[in-house]
Amino acid sequence: MTRGAGLTIGVLGSYGGRNLGDEAILTGLLADLREQEPNARIIVFSRNPAHTRVAHPDVEAVPWEGVSRTDSALVLAQLDLLILGGGGILYDKEARRYLRVVRVAQERGLPLLTYAVGVGPLSEGVDTGMVRETLASATQVTVRDQESRMVLEEAGLLNPITVTADPAFLLEPEDFPAHLLREEGVPAGKRLIGMSVREPGRAAERLDVDGYHRLLAQIGDFLVHRVDAYVLFVPMERDDIRHSHGVLSHMIAAERGRILHGTYSPQQVLGLMRHFDLAVGMRLHFLIFAAMVGTPFLPLPYAGKVFDLAQRLGVPALRGVEREVEGPLLAEVDRLWDEREHRSEATARRVAEVCDQARGTSQVTRAVLESLRARNLARVGA
């Protein structure tokens, strides 16, 4: 247990997996913690500690997957607080893996705080029970969207639940120079459409891969001809590259498509979004990034979290992806292009509100940190 000036804080989430969305969450979360607790020692539980240490050299990183309870306890014994989240980690089959570590922490009496965590879908008894029982003893529970709050309430959690917003909304963009686009094969002087495609995953297991690849290809072709644009696919994690190639293979105007190949930080990709005239995508954080820099965007929802984002920002979101119905989607893309300037002011207002909600997680965290500092000072004085 810490006895010095700074607290020792553990952060457990889906980090180190080379997913730009998860890394954006960690970047925003760490920046918030550093602002509140500059002298803190921060230990990140990571899927790939070496990657996390390179990306965030001011933190320590340790593995958690496949680690024994004894080894986990040795690290947890050093902490004053364990933060769970943010991001979507509490869902069927995955929640139990994270909560195994949390339970070891709670057996040691370690305070737990959930940081704008994403929850659901939860339908399996093992995961639902573990979430309910584990979070029941949390010091504070904050979630990133209304859907997560409803899932926790349906799971039987009785704690007060604070809805904030995704920590990625705390990021600041870095410049993405035009020459990097040239190096990626995007010619100068052309309109540019950003597109994000992902695998179905557990949130949309019934999604027909070839079917939605063809649908997205139709959207890409439509925009190429509608606005004389190039399409740049932005992989948010490694497997997105394969699915981007799948969409590109079905495009008639495939020569107008490019796939981003360089390795970039979340802040750089956020800066890249400024180059797009329009963004169409499935990945949540691709859409968040577009919203943050004012790029008009159309969500292609495959999960509740994407619908929640669209609802919060007042942006239309159609279920055309899983139904593979191109007519309504192409009509909405066409409408978005025509109304993009008209919609921008209202969307910007909503984005500012959500950014404020993201900062609301800090207010909850601050109260917990102040309490821990006071407790430690009292122990030192005693």
Q: Please report, for the chain, how many H helices and E strands are present, in that order.
A: 14, 12
Q: Is the dihedral of CA 276, 281, 283, 284 positive or negative?
A: positive
Distances (CA, A) of 232 to 15, 195, 235, 275: 26, 6, 10, 10
Distances (CA, A) of 263 to 185, 193, 269, 309: 15, 20, 10, 26
Give the C-alpha separation, 290 to 136, whole Å. 36
Give residue 176's region: left, alpha or beta (phi > 0; psi -120 to 50): beta
| Mean pLDDT split into 10-residue runs, the chain, 382 residues | 70 93 97 95 97 96 95 96 94 96 96 97 96 97 96 97 97 96 94 93 70 92 96 96 96 98 96 97 96 94 84 80 68 92 92 96 95 85 60
Q: Which residues of 348-379 are buried (b: 16+ CB within 10 A; e: fewer)?
A: eeebeebbebbebbbebbeebbeebbeebeee
Burial class (CB within 10 angstroms; exposed 0-12, middle 13-18, buried 19+) of 215? buried
Q: What is the pLDDT of residues 26-82, one digit of tens each?
A: 999 999 999 999 999 999 999 999 999 999 999 999 999 999 999 999 999 999 999
**Structural domains of the chain, with CATH:** 8-163 (3.40.50.11720), 178-354 (3.40.50.2000)
- Type of residue numbered 128: T
Q: What is the dihedral of CA 94, 100, 106, 108, to 10 degrees?
A: -150
Give residue 118's region: left, alpha or beta (phi > 0; psi -120 to 50): beta
What is the predicted pLDDT for the residue at 2?
41
* Phi, psi for residue 68 in degrees, rounded to 5: -70, 160
What is the predicted pLDDT for the residue at 4?
47
Give the C-alpha separation, 47 to 26, whole Å. 13
Q: What is the dihedral of CA 326, 332, 338, 343, to 10 degrees?
A: -160
What count of residues does the chain have?
Answer: 382
What is the predicted pLDDT for the residue at 209?
86
Q: How many CB atoms lie within 10 A of CB 139?
A: 17
Give the C-alpha separation, 105 to 229, whole Å. 52
**Which of 240, 328, 316 is CA-nearest to residue 17?**
240
Give the C-alpha separation, 235 to 259, whole Å. 8
CA atoms within 13 A on the CB side of 80: 23
Q: Tokens for 371?
A: 């309490």
- For the entire predicted model, the pTM comes to 0.94
Task: Name every residue whose Cβ is closer than 8 Å to that of residue 175 and which is 6 or more positions away in sequence.
Answer: 271
Give the C-alpha separation, 20 to 286, whole Å. 9
Task: Name every residue whose Cβ is closer than 8 Å to that of residue 230 and which is 6 or more positions away in sequence.
Answer: 186, 187, 190, 191, 192, 193, 224, 256, 257, 258
**Which of 355, 228, 210 is CA-nearest to residue 294?**
355
